[in-house]
Amino acid sequence: MTNATVTAGAATLGPGLAIEAVGLTKTYPGGVRALRGLSLQFPLGSIFALLGPNGAGKSTAVKVLTTLSRPDSGGARVAGYDILSEAEAVRRAIGVVSQKPAGDLDATGWENLMLQGHLYGLAGAELKRRAEQLVEVLSLGEVVNRIVKTYSGGTQRKLDIAIGLVNRPRVLFLDEPTTGLDPDARAEMWETISRLAREGLGVLLTTHYLEEADQLSDRLAIVDHGEIVAEGTADELKHELRGDSVSLQLTDEPPPDSVEAALAAIDGLLNDRSYEAGWLRARVDNGPTALPALLAALDGAGVRVSSASVARPSLDDVYLSHTGHAYNALQEN
Amino acid sequence: MSFAVSSAGHVSARYLRAFARQPYYLAVTLVQPVIWLLLFGHVFERVVQLPGFSTASYIGFLAPGIVVMTALFSNGWSGMAYVTDIDRGVLDRFLVAPVRGGSLIGGQLAYAGLLTLLQSLIILGLGWISGASFAGAGPGILACLLATLLLGTAFASYSNALALLLRKQETLIAMVNFLVLPLTFLSVTFMPSALLPGWIRTLSAYNPVDWAVQVSRQCLSGTADWGYVSLHLALLALLAAACAYLSTRAFGAYRRAI
Size of interface A-B (CB pairs under 8 A): 79
A 68-97 residues inside an 8 A Cβ radius of B: 68-70, 88, 91-92, 94, 96
Strand partners, A172: A95, A203
pLDDT for A294 equals: 86
Residue contact A91–B89, C-beta within 8 A: no
φ, ψ for residue A51, nearest 5 deg: -110, 130
pLDDT for A94 equals: 96
Higher pLDDT, A264 or A171: A171
Half-sphere exposure of A173 (CA within 13 A, CB side): 27
Q: Identity (one letter) of the amino acid at B152?
A: G
d(CA A265, nearest CA chain B) in Å? 59
pLDDT for A275 equals: 84
Which of the four pLDDT bands, split at 50, 70 and 90, describes residue A327? low
Contact call for residues B57 and B131 (beta carbons, < 8 A) = yes
Output the CA–CA distances (angstroms, integers) from residue B102 to A167, B11, B106, B245, in the order listed: 21, 11, 6, 8
For residue A103, give every residue at least 6 positions away whose Cβ sits within 8 Å of its Cβ, in sequence order, or none.
A109, A112, A148, A151, A156, A159, A160, A163, B90
d(CA B15, nearest CA chain A) in Å? 10
pLDDT for A8 equals: 42
pLDDT for A239 equals: 77
pLDDT for A299 equals: 86
Residue contact A69–B94, C-beta within 8 A: no
Residue contact B256–A69, C-beta within 8 A: yes
H-only helix segments in chain B = 2-21, 24-34, 41-43, 58-76, 78-88, 90-95, 101-129, 137-166, 169-185, 198-204, 208-220, 226-257
A 124-183 residues inside an 8 A Cβ radius of B: 147, 163, 167
Structurally, chain B folds into a number of domains equal to: 1
φ, ψ for residue A305, nearest 5 deg: -110, 130
Which of the four pLDDT bands, split at 50, 70 and 90, describes residue A265? confident
pLDDT for B31 equals: 93
Q: Which domain covers residue B149, as residue numbers?
A: 2-257
Helix (H) or strand (E) holding A228: strand A227-232
Which of the four pLDDT bands, split at 50, 70 and 90, describes residue A208? confident
Q: Does the pLDDT value for residue A333 go beyond 80?
A: no
Residue of B nearest to A105 (CA): B88
Q: Does the pLDDT value for residue A112 go beyond 50?
A: yes
Among positive and negative, which fits the CA dihedral A200, A202, A207, A210? positive
pLDDT for A46 equals: 94
Which of the four pLDDT bands, split at 50, 70 and 90, describes residue A271? confident
Which of the four pLDDT bands, split at 50, 70 and 90, describes residue A181? confident
Which of A2-11, A24-33, A75-84, B182-191 has the least mean pLDDT? Answer: A2-11
Q: What percent of chain A has pLDDT over 90?
A: 47
Residue length, chain A?
333
pLDDT for A328 equals: 56
For residue A207, give every residue at least 6 positions away whose Cβ sits within 8 Å of its Cβ, in sequence order, or none.
A49, A50, A51, A176, A177, A178, A179, A213, A216
- ipTM for the whole complex: 0.89
d(CA A63, nearest CA chain B) in Å? 8
For residue B257, give every residue at least 6 positions away whose Cβ sits within 8 Å of its Cβ, in sequence order, or none.
A28, A29, B167
Residue A242 at interface with chain B, using a CB cutoff of 8 Å:
no
Provide, as residue numbers in chain B, all residues whose Cβ is less than 8 Å from the Cβ of A88. 98
pLDDT for B114 equals: 97
Contact call for residues A177 and A97 (beta carbons, < 8 A) = yes
Higher pLDDT, A206 or A209: A206
- What are A128-167's pLDDT values in tens digits? 999 999 999 889 999 999 999 999 988 999 999 999 999 9
CB atoms near residue A149 (< 10 Å): 12
Give the rounded distance of the alpha carbon of A73 from its chain centre. 25
- pLDDT < 70 positions in chain B: 1
Provide, as residue numbers in chain A, all residues whose Cβ is less than 8 Å from the Cβ of B257. 28-29
Residue of B nearest to A66 (CA): B96
d(CA A198, nearest CA chain B) in Å? 25
Chain A interface, mutation test: which of B92, B94, B104, B256, most A Cβ atoms within 10 Å?
B92
- What are B112-152's pLDDT values in tens digits? 999 999 999 999 999 999 988 888 889 999 999 999 999 99
pLDDT for B245 equals: 95
Strand partners, A40: A21
Q: Identity (one letter) of the amino acid at B53?
A: F
Higher pLDDT, A236 or B99: B99
- What are A211-227's pLDDT values in tens digits? 888 889 999 999 988 99
φ, ψ for residue A254, nearest 5 deg: -60, 155
Residue A223 and residue B217: Cα distance in Å, rounded? 64
Mean pLDDT in chain A? 86
Residue A224 and residue A329: Cα distance in Å, rounded? 14
Residue contact A116–B258, C-beta within 8 A: no
Contact call for residues A61 and A69 (beta carbons, < 8 A) = no
Contact call for residues A104 and B14 (beta carbons, < 8 A) = yes
Residue length, chain B?
258
Residue of A nearest to B95 (CA): A68
Is this prediction's pTM over 0.90? no
